[in-house]
Amino acid sequence: MKPISIDELMGLAAYEKARDQFRQEIIEYKKHRRLAVGERVSLLFEDRKTVLFQIQEMLRAEKITDLDKIKEEVDVYNGLIPGADELSATLLIEIEDQSQIRADLLKFLGIDEAVYLKIGDKHTIQATFEEGYSKEDKISAVQYVRFCFTPEARDAFIRGEEDIRVSINHPNYKVEAKISEEIRKSLVRDLTE
């Protein structure tokens, strides 16, 4: 998938005018790219459109107008765009009690070894987590993950003839969620662009 270029970005004033409509479009669009994996974890599968929105929102929030700083933001966020034969997602651990954030998150230590995408019984793809968001005594509620497909797994995902699930097999959180046909169709574009 092609990375975002600076030429695609709106200036702050233009974005402010278009923001409400763009936000509504993105909210609707993300409904077809978000998967709840149990009650505590969700995945938002990223692509050019979701990343472009994040860049625009960051530039707006931080009031960034310097071209070099804009380039830095674009470079950072382009890391979320899936490469060839992969899906990229933001994994969010839902915090139930804000006063217990640290204790709650510590229960999820090791989740970076426990997330899988399964296509039928033939293909199991372990998620690769971006480094720096989890240590032996600390974990972030937001993680960035990739599912790297073999050609056979990619073809099976695109065909959609078998159930496709995301599984978390963690000692404190064992759950599985089926990827709906609607989400699968949206993700097929990521694997074919």
Asked if pLDDT for residue 5 goes beyond 90, the answer is: yes
Identify the band that residue 133 occupies on the pLDDT scale cut at 50, 70 and 90: low
Q: What is the pTM of this model?
A: 0.93
Q: Which two tokens stand for residue 133?
A: 């968001």
**pLDDT value at residue 100:** 85
Domain boundaries 37-44+83-193, corresponding CATH code: 2.60.40
Please state the domain extents for the chain: 1-31+48-81, 37-44+83-193
